Amino acid sequence: MIRCLLMKRKTAHHRAAFLFAYNTSMLPVALISIIFASTASIASAAPVAAPIVSFYPENPIQGQPIAVMVARADDASVRYIMLGPKVLSPFEYDGATWALYGSDIKEKPATSTVLVSFADGRIVRSHIRLNQRPKIEAPFGIPAKLGGNTPAAATTLVNTLEQENKGLLGLETAPQSLWNKPFSYPLKDSIITDDYGYSRSTVGQNITHKGTDFRANETTPVLAMNDGIVRLVQEGRNYGKTVVIDHGLGVQTFYMHLSRIDVAQGEKIRRGNRIGMAGQTGYAEAAHLHLTVRINEVSVDPIVFLGLFK
């Protein structure tokens, strides 16, 4: 159900400007300013139903993914979508054109212009505000197998994490979306034990938790969140046995601390396939699944990401 308020005015420079307020059962209310910058004449043509651009979440905070969704009532295809200076990759999903943006947890809160360019020359501009994430800090220890709670172990942890993180960048991603169904949770019973985005104070060092931890034991099957290609299988000092699945367009899911891996690098995988078993390899004090979701190499809140595809 979509309700629209429409106001039309003509200016010397713009063919028409529209102001929409819309509300649907699934999407938040938003005000979107749409400017027809095209010089092509539309005065004599039949009225064209304007595209509706919406965002989820409506009020994102640092570290959250942002979905830009373009619902169209006509056949005009989207040429490109930009958020600030970044060009996003549009894809078709659920009857609309989408693009995903990953806001970094340290990205400066600001308002950005979102520009949607259509093949027929129309350009639609709207705005999205990235808000500050509340700072949460909690103590977090180092397991004895990695040296325990000593300053030397904490320094080694930070340095080796930096090295390991570098090795997880630059992984190949498909130029098209490999999925056409919603992303699903990686465990049959998903109970969150540690949230994304808080700062772990570890013997004088602060390490931001850029993923979500789920309760699991060493025989809990870990499932692929969507269709994709296994890009990396490895065992690292801190992340332990790790599988990375590429879903295309820069969307990648990382499954860490596994006790067992059942897939090989390069393997095509379907949503819900078992990729291994949860575990406590690497920097883990007990068995659990650590899940990271990246959009163009930016780690975003996995639970908000899952919520995009309801």
Task: Tell me which residues touch Zn ion (CB under 5 A).
Answer: 211, 213, 290
CB 212 to Zn ion: min, Å: 7
Nearer Cβ to Zn ion, position 89 or 280?
A: 280
State how far the Cα of 260 lies from the Cα of 269, in Å rounded to an integer.
Answer: 17
State how far the Cα of 73 lies from the Cα of 202, in Å rounded to an integer.
Answer: 53
CB 140 to Zn ion: min, Å: 10
Ranked by CB distance to Zn ion, the top (closest) residue is 290
Nearer Cβ to Zn ion, position 89 or 238?
A: 238
Nearer Cβ to Zn ion, position 247 or 288?
A: 288
CB 237 to Zn ion: min, Å: 15
Strands (E), 186-250: 192-194, 199-202, 205-208, 212-215, 221-223, 228-236, 240-246
Phi-psi region of 247 (alpha: psi -120 to 50; beta: other; left: phi over 0): alpha
CB 121 to Zn ion: min, Å: 47
CB 201 to Zn ion: min, Å: 15
Nearer Cβ to Zn ion, position 198 or 309?
A: 198
DSSP string, 10-77: --SS-S-EEEEEE--SSS--EEEEEE----S--SSSPPPPPPEEEEESSS-BTT-EEEEEEE-SSSPP
Q: Compute φ and ψ for 71, nearest 5 degrees.
A: -95, 130
Phi-psi region of 305 (alpha: psi -120 to 50; beta: other; left: phi over 0): alpha
CB 244 to Zn ion: min, Å: 15
Tokens read off for 112 = 């950005």
CB 294 to Zn ion: min, Å: 14
Question: In what helix (H) or strand (E) does residue 269 lie, and over which residues does it extend?
Answer: strand 268-269
Given strand 65-71, what is the order of strands in its sheet? Answer: 52-56, 65-71, 96-102, 91-93
Nearer Cβ to Zn ion, position 213 or 246?
A: 213
For strand 199-202 and strand 205-208, is the pairing parallel, antiparallel, or unpaired?
antiparallel
Identify the bridge partners of residue 236 per DSSP, sorted by sequence position: 240
The number of beta carbons lying within 10 Å of the beta carbon of residue 221 is 17
Nearer Cβ to Zn ion, position 54 or 212?
A: 212
Inter-residue contact 300 to 262 (CB < 8 Å): no
Tokens read off for 245 = 């699945």
CB 84 to Zn ion: min, Å: 29
Nearer Cβ to Zn ion, position 18 or 198?
A: 198
Nearer Cβ to Zn ion, position 72 or 215?
A: 215
